[in-house]
Amino acid sequence: MWNGDAGVANLRTGTPRGEHDRYRIASITKTFTATVLLQLQAEGKVDLDASVDTHLPGVVRGNGHDGRAITVRQLLNHTSGIFNYTADEKFGKTYLGVGFLQHRYDTLSPRVAVAMRHQPDFEPGTGWNYSNTNYMLAGLVIEKVTDTPYATQIRQRIIKPLGLRSTTLPGTRASMPGPHGRGYSKFPDDPRGKIHDTTLLNPSWGWAAGEAISTSADLNRFYAALLQGRLLPRAALAEMKTTVPVG
């Protein structure tokens, strides 16, 4: 197996990155969320071709969005047409731009309502567009079906069985468990182009679409187990690996 890294873990001290460093895995969280939802499907608790409204009545409604016409499958493969809440201009300025510095510790509930203020990207099933809102809704479906937090399901079904000791779902906790490097970012609306330390943040804005923390070793173990069929039955894994033509 090949391993590599680039850059440093701390711009001030020049400390190199370590192979055991934890980091925010962002949208890799979606694979964990999708795995749990497909496990529930394999257990007969979720029908991928059932409407979102079956589990979340009235949640997806407004400006042309209609959860009665969108399936759970379309959430998972990004063919729902549901607007991506992180593309909302106000949300972007507040949490992804320089506003982050003031709002980094805010606790947010799933941002479905933000998406409902916009028109859908397309009619369900007629196109493809990456939307974090899809996985907010997937997390909500998991919670409705199991009557437990989605993070609890990931811990019980994936993290504990695989022994992923460095993988956490922090919820609203802003700190990072050690060891870890610092996180840095530039903001697109910052005319100075300054590099900011963004290590500490409340990850609730990403929730089931992007809140997890892990290490490369844990992620290798997770993906090996997933692709070797140890987390999903063959049919469910085939569903996960089915791609959608784009363009």
CA 95 to chain centre: 16
The Cα–Cα gap between 180 and 193 comes to 25
* 2 domain-assigned: no
What is the structure's pLDDT at 2? 65
pTM of this structure: 0.96
pLDDT at 245: 86
Res 7: pLDDT: 81
Q: What is the pLDDT of residues 102-145, one digit of tens each?
A: 999 999 998 899 999 999 999 999 999 999 999 999 999 999 99
Residues identified as active-site: 27
The answer to whether residue 10 is domain-embedded is no
What is the pLDDT at residue 19? 86
Q: Where are the beta strands (DSSP E) in the chain?
A: 23-24, 61-62, 65-66, 184-185, 196-197, 213-214
Structural domains in the chain (count): 1
User: Does residue 1 lie within any of the structural domains?
Assistant: no
Q: Judge whether 4 lies within some domain.
A: no
- Is there a domain that residue 218 lies in? yes
6 is a domain residue: no
In a domain, 74, yes or no: yes
Domain, as residue range, for 229: 23-238
44 inside domain: yes
Residue 1's pLDDT is what?
Answer: 59
pLDDT < 70 positions in the chain? 1-3
Q: What is the pLDDT of residue 235?
A: 95
Distance CA 10, CA 233 (A): 42
Report pLDDT digits (tens) over 72-107.
Answer: 999 999 999 999 999 999 999 999 999 999 999 999
* pLDDT confidence of residue 133: 98
Indicate which CATH number applies to the domain containing 178.
3.40.710.10
